[in-house]
Amino acid sequence: MTKIRVLVLILVFQFINNTSKANNGYELWMGYEKITNKNLFVKYQTLFSVIYLPQNSQDETIAILKKELQLASKKMIEQSPRFVNQVSEAQIIFEINKAQNKINEEGYDIQTSINAQQKTQIKIQAKTNIGLLYGCFELLRLVQLQIDPSQIHTTSSPALSLRILNHWDNINRSVERGYAGISIFNWHTLPDYKDKRYTDYARANASIGINGTVVTNVNANALFLTHDYLVKVKALADIFRPYGIKVYLTARFSAPIEIGKLKTADPLNEEVKNWWKQKANEIYSLIPDFGGFLVKANSEGQPGPQNYNRSHAEGANMMAEAVAPHKGIVIWRAFVYSNEQPEDRAKQAYSEFKPLDGKFNKNVLVQIKNGPIDFQPREPFHPLFGALPNTPVMMEFQITQEYLGQATHLVYQGPMFKEILESNVDASKKVIDVVENKINGLSGISGVANIGNDINWCGHPFAQANWYAFGRLAWNPRLSASQIANEWIQQTWTQDKNVLATIQDIMMSSYENMVNYMTPLGLHHIMGNGHHYGPMPWGNTLSRADWNPVYYHRSDSLGIGFNRVATGSNAISQYEAWVQNKWSDSSTCNEKYLLWFHHVSWNHRMKNGNSLWNELCYKYNEGVKGVAQMNSQWKSVATQINAEGYDQVKQLLDIQLKDAEWWRDACLLYFQTFSKQPFPLHYPKAKFDLPYYQSLNFPYAPGNGK
């Protein structure tokens, strides 16, 4: 073989080796790539050479911690650590310190110091083994970010006691609003076959501080409460427990009838109460640390206490009494609305739950969606935040992108999560303050999971960032979306500063771009009926008025938008006076919520001088331009990241650009039928006419989970 051929082979090998990062995405943010900084490589080789762990060889969490350190060391610094029995011998020390007063039961304290032998030591302290595991993942995150060990000084405790993923997974492995394959939970082969993916799932959640998972759909199936399925749930709980993760189940309110053979599910009926108590006893005999029940009741056809003229509080309290002896909780969803109720859908949850404040048992939390409609691209915060001062509440975000282009569109949700959390409920208090406030020792946040059995877990490679961002914000809601994006990119794509900056810019602009090409200026719920993919502002065929897009934008010859101020539905009255003053006047309302609260003239003068019609055209076109810019930026890093990941994202960005143009053209052509105004001359013309867009049909679009 000639020297030239050898050199070529070496270069090819180096290229393949250098572009391996984030290959198929299965490792998520735990790829533990080799440290490229030579100085740091040597420092961490020294530090990770000798490690002390608590001496409890029988503890599963400590065994997991040890395994994680071994894996990370081999990959990042190409050596295996030696574990010792004496603290004095170690460079990295993990120890339990019950007296550590800077942290709570799940927190950790990590400090770097110089010992008596002039050696650098890193000490990780926690009050529990789970706290040590969280501290281990934080240390490994900092190493992946290539932080100099001398700079590692961090003390952290989760701000929220409950940090939960909600899986809308069905018994047949379909996933309602799932876009990443079928469910990872294979109920057919459980409990005997324990897929390695269950362990990898638990590990991923623990690495970002998630401590609970609801493994069944909120549109619940009573079969999950039968013994045959409870033993399957037990198998999962046993796998998740050493990672600090509790299992929760959705409870179908009519289960006493469906599987208990009772004649009623009335929450005040003694037989029904006893049935739930016995069911709770059965569950806890199998799963001693079972978290409790999540309940969707009297919403979208689900049974509930109102079937028996009982209140949500009476229904929740009956279940809460059943799990209370076992220290379980009930999470009761506030997502309720009725087509038979003539009241604005945006008002109904507040109207039902505000009078019940203080009437729930101490182990009940009310879970409130981030906005008053349904996980729209942009909504104002839900008025129930701040309206239930005597009731523990949980924030509910939707990580899966039901209304956000699904797993086809690159949309980083960190800015959306932060926009809601940082919203003021009054002059002195933000949503984040309400969510963090513990009542009866409870506080929490939940996220509807975007996880499926695709090799990369989430469908779109960048959708992983939303799972990651949710976990990081669940632990610390004060983190910035930009910081979280920066962390995730470094752990998954690149350490190169220029490439990192480009990818971070793509991520940070993606949310606003999506809002602009889908639902600018406060428009909402104008997606395709049922599957919610693509535009359908003309939709008016479903039997329920509040499932039709025309219900929400209310376009006519006079203007567009839903009047929710005093002259309309007056939904704005559910907010504090300070907020009402901000949004009640169409001339001063934040324009990102303008059409949410106001029906305004097509000639309404915007703050920049544009008419409403021209501004609507501008926003839709800005959204398309934004995606084109994202596409161009992605192409600019083609040779600097792994080819497999690059190509997958590139293809999806091409689809996203086409979809953005589709959204713009279909919506503007439709709204023009009301405005009767011309398009600004400098904007591109639609590729097709309105009847073409109205003829499109997608009966097999994913995510309905039927």
Which residue numbers are catalytic? 300, 374, 402
State the Cα–Cα distance between residues 252 and 268, nearest whole angstrom: 16
* Cα-Cα-Cα-Cα dihedral sign, residues 144, 145, 148, 153: negative
Strand order in the sheet with 82-84: 82-84, 50-52, 92-96, 120-126, 108-114, 153-156
* Cα-Cα-Cα-Cα dihedral sign, residues 85, 87, 92, 93: positive
**Cα angle 233-238-244, degrees, rounded to a multiple of 5:** 110
Q: Which of 313, 318, 296, 305 is nearest to 358 (CA)?
A: 313
**Whether 569 contacts 344, CB under 8 Å:** yes
Q: Residue 212 gets which letter from DSSP?
A: E
Element (H, E) at 489: helix 481-492
Strand-pairing partners, residue 94, are 124
* Lookup: tokens for 250: 């959705």
Q: What SS3 state is found at 208? A: coil
**Whether 277 contacts 247, CB under 8 Å:** no
State the Cα–Cα distance between residues 82 and 61, nearest whole angstrom: 18
Helical segments of 175-241, H only: 196-207, 227-240
Give residue 371's identity as a one-letter amino acid code: G
Give residue 554's identity as a one-letter amino acid code: R
Residues in the chain: 706
Which DSSP string do the residues of 636-678 spell out, in sequence order? Answer: HTGGGS-HHHHHHHHHHHHHHHHHHHHHHHHHHHHHHHHH--P
Angle between helices 497-518 and 643-675 (to 10 degrees): 30
| Antiparallel, parallel or unpaired: β 108-114 and 120-126 | antiparallel
C-alpha dihedral (697, 698, 704, 706), degrees to nearest 10 = 90
3-state secondary structure 500-538: HHHHHHHHHHHHHHHHHHHCHHHCCCCECCCCCCCECCC
* Lookup: tokens for 362: 């101490």
- Burial code (b: 16+ CB inside 10 Å, e: under 16) for 247-259 equals bbbbbbbbbbbbb
Q: Residue 679 gets which letter from DSSP?
A: P
Q: What counts of helices (H) and strands (E) characterise the chain?
A: 21, 16
State the Cα–Cα distance between residues 294 and 166, nearest whole angstrom: 9
Helical segments of 90-226, H only: 129-144, 196-207
State the Cα–Cα distance between residues 184 and 202, nearest whole angstrom: 12
